[in-house]
Amino acid sequence: MDFALSEEQRAIYETAQAFGVENIAPNARQWDAAGTIPKSLWTEIAALGFGALNVRESSGGAELTRLDATLVFEALSESCASVAAFLSIHNMCARMLDHLATDALKERLLPDALGMNCVLSYCLTEPGSGSDAAALKTKATRTNEGWALTGTKAFISGGGYSDAYIIMARSGDDTPAGISAFLVEDGADGLSFGGLEDKMGWRSQPTRQVQLDDCRVPAENLLGVEGDGFKYAMAGLDGGRLNIAACSLGAAQSALDKALAYVQERKAFGRTLDQFQALQFKLAESEIELQAARTFLRHAAWANDTDQPDATKRSAMAKAFVTEAASRVADTCLQLHGGYGYLADYGIEKIVRDLRVHRILEGTNEIMRLIVARSLLQ
């Protein structure tokens, strides 16, 4: 097996990395404090093709492999994991729009989604159903014109900020087969939002509840087949787990790079910190963890791209392993900075805050272990 990246893959990584260094990193702390990302950034990212990573070429997208896409998110996360993770959400939604929307809906919305003039958010989680997503209560009722949606979605990145929302709602019975997917556009009657959530990390992503009160949705905004919504949600999770692992990897790599620079400059007891063996071992352990995580993630992405029968298990394992390894590395790098690591100026504390949620979303890491265990016991 060849583990080397191709010339094209290196170009993808370097393009994303350079964009992040120039356009994201200098502003990440400001956006974190302000609680929002300027929408102008998304159109600049889309100009590189990064708003349509997994959309088919025939629809105007880049149609990258899962492995290629992880390179984009890893590279961008070196500058800000929060920005990169929000881009991952948009890309998941754009792929669903490409594969599931009616021709009329695609013709009207997909070009703007690919250019990120239309930013997309994903709404599955509810106040009472997180890991148990199949228990969602949001109701979809038929009307003469289409559908009426009633319910509340929680922890929605881009709530009140995005231009359209893919919403999972119950159009049938209480089983997973009773769930359908709908596209709700901003400004729809009955669509409103809760207050801005005050979060530990990912603070640059505006996060609110999405509230639906007899929200009117045209018939053409049903995505795919009625009753197949839960299947669509589960099908998108493998890719989302790879992407969030890549975001963890890139941010942790940035933390290690900062720590390496710091220990070579900072002096204690007449020597720079990099001369102390105890600290050298911490750096070495961090490098070992990140290299192992990178290999594990890319192999899981390969499994998805080649339709390996255990691709879902590998995605779950990679998500759990990489997000936890990255959090350990980031915490170690903060410790290596001493008191300065606790200050915002050095950029480490933001990485630690941002990475904490990666072990919760896209399925908690406890659920990842459940997936692995079930696979082993089948």
Tens of pLDDT along 3-22?
899 999 999 999 999 999 99
pLDDT tens, residue by residue, 42-90 = 999 999 999 999 999 999 999 999 999 999 999 999 999 999 999 999 9
Domains of the chain as residue ranges with CATH: 7-114 (1.10.540.10), 120-230 (2.40.110.10), 231-377 (1.20.140.10)
Phi, psi of 38 (to 5 degrees): -60, 135
Alpha carbon separation from 311 to 69, 257, 301, 314, 374 (Å, rounded): 16, 31, 8, 5, 14
pLDDT tens, residue by residue, 199-240 = 999 999 999 999 999 999 999 999 999 999 999 999 889 999
pLDDT tens, residue by residue, 91-141 = 999 999 999 999 999 999 999 999 999 999 999 999 999 888 899 999 999
pTM: 0.96
The SS3 of residue 306 is: coil
Token pair for 251: 């941010």
235: CB partners within 8 A, 6+ apart:
none
Of residues 78, 265, 362, 366, which has the active-site annotation?
Answer: 362
Tell me, what's the pLDDT at 230? 96
Name the nearest CA neighbour of 32 among 181, 182, 198, 152.
198
Residue 164: pLDDT band with limits 50, 70, 90: very high
Q: Is 78 a catalytic residue?
A: no
Tell me, what's the pLDDT at 3? 80
The sign of the CA dihedral 164, 136, 129, 375 is negative
pLDDT at 1 over 70: no
